C-alpha cells in the first residue's frame, strides 16, 4: 500500500517535472509554414510549437500575456 502511494507520487513528480522542462525553440526566422501576411518587422519566431502546446505554456515560457499573444498571431491561426 505504501509502495503504491510512493510510486504514484514519484510518477506525478516526474510528469510535473517534464511539463516544467518544456523548452520552445526560437530563432530569427520561421522554420516552417508562415502566414504571407505576417508583419515584416517580426524578429523572433517560436519554431517548435505543436498542436498540443497551450497558450498558458507560451505565456509562461516567454513572459507574455494572452493579449500580446493574440495580437501577434495571424487571425487565420486558430490559437484559442
Three cell numbers, residue 43: 524578429
d(CA 40, CA 60): 26
Comparing CA positions, the residue from 36, 40, 68, 62 lying closest to residue 49 is 62
12-46 pLDDT, tens digit per residue, is 444 444 445 678 888 888 887 777 777 777 787 88
d(CA 72, CA 77): 11
Q: What is the DSSP letter of 36?
A: T
9 pLDDT band (50/70/90 cuts)? very low
Tracing cell 487565420 back to the chain, one arrives at: 76
pLDDT the model gives residue 65: 92
Q: The pTM is what?
A: 0.53
- Mean pLDDT value of segment 8-12: 43
Q: How many CB atoms lie within 10 A of CB 79?
A: 15
User: Which position has the higher pLDDT, 72 or 15?
Assistant: 72
Amino acid at each position: 500500500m505504501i509502495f503504491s502511494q510512493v510510486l504514484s507520487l514519484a510518477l506525478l513528480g516526474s510528469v510535473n517535472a517534464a511539463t516544467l522542462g518544456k523548452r520552445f525553440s526560437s530563432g530569427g526566422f520561421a522554420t516552417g509554414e508562415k502566414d504571407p501576411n505576417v508583419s515584416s518587422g517580426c524578429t523572433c519566431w517560436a519554431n517548435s510549437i505543436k498542436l498540443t502546446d497551450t497558450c498558458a505554456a507560451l505565456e509562461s515560457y516567454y513572459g507574455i500575456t494572452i493579449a500580446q499573444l493574440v495580437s501577434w498571431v495571424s487571425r487565420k491561426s486558430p490559437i484559442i
